[in-house]
Amino acid sequence: MSGRLADKIAVISGGGTGIGAATARRFAAEGARVVVTGRRREPIESVAADIGGVAVAGDTSETEHATAAVTAALTHFGGVDIVVANAGVGIGGDVLSVRDEDWQQMLDVNVTGAMKLARAALPALIDRGGGAIVNISSVSALSASPARVGYGVSKSALLALTRSMAYDYGRQGIRVNTVCPGWVRTPMADAAMDSLANAKDIDREEAYRRAAAHLPLRRVARPEEIAHCCVFLASDEASFVTGAVLVADGGGEIVGTGTLAFDD
């Protein structure tokens, strides 16, 4: 099969919906064979069926699940070349209000889950002579959001994990990079927009418009647009890129908040 990922074997966590599902479909379209993981069996089995992949249901924070996902890639396809750590959870709260169990869950899923999946896959990647790991972080790793302390901290930690792995395994041909999306139309973002809509007595679409009002592109992303970023970082087109942070946020990070009053 032709494509930028022809004959590559990928493991994608959180692949049932949103960015993960879009990435699984895009990878398959680019020639990859894909193992899709997630907590809910039905969505990942649906995606896997559509792309001729394999679904492995489980909790990304559990060592046994990470091992099972990699084992599935080895058993069904013969190796691992790419890992996309996309599984994530976001729960609101500031330092005074965030529950201990919610704080721990965000760390377990958003950081430890990515580490465990990488740890399970690294021997297989090394056996193949190298490969690519793409971690999905967030612009919340780069700037603060109101009452999102656990999410921001966990996504910031993912950047440090990326840099450490890029340094430690680069000599073995393994590249590790991060994508930091801004607002993307996903179930997680829909829930955030519904919360904003309820607070402001508006509908979801108006909430999305308000969220994008100060972005230079004046819109939020489609999951497929983030999937294209993942394809680039996973492919040979990014063969000299490692330890990098690719920000895909419609230009939000370049906007100076002190000048918003002058924006027409």
Residue 97 and residue 149: Cα distance in Å, rounded? 10
Q: Evaluate whether 124 touches 73 at the Cβ level (below 8 Å).
A: yes
Residue carrying structure tokens 């592109």: 217
| Given 151, 167, 169, 208, the catalytic residue | 151
Q: Evaluate whether 126 touches 108 at the Cβ level (below 8 Å).
A: no
Tell me the DSSP string of 126-184: HHTT-EEEEEE--GGGTS--TTBHHHHHHHHHHHHHHHHHHHHHGGGTEEEEEEEE-SB
Helix (H, G, I), strand (E, B) or coil at 245: strand
Q: Is 151 a catalytic residue?
A: yes
Q: Please enumerate in sequence order all residues whose Cβ is within 8 A of that of 127, keeping only pairs 6 or more positions apart, or say none.
A: 79
Residue 16 and residue 37: Cα distance in Å, rounded? 7
Q: Please enumerate in sequence order all residues whose Cβ is within 8 A of that of 213, keeping only pairs 6 or more positions apart, or say none.
A: none
Structure tokens given for 84: 């996309």
Nearest to 14 by CA among 49, 50, 58: 58
- Which H or E element spans position 4? none
Catalytic residues: 151
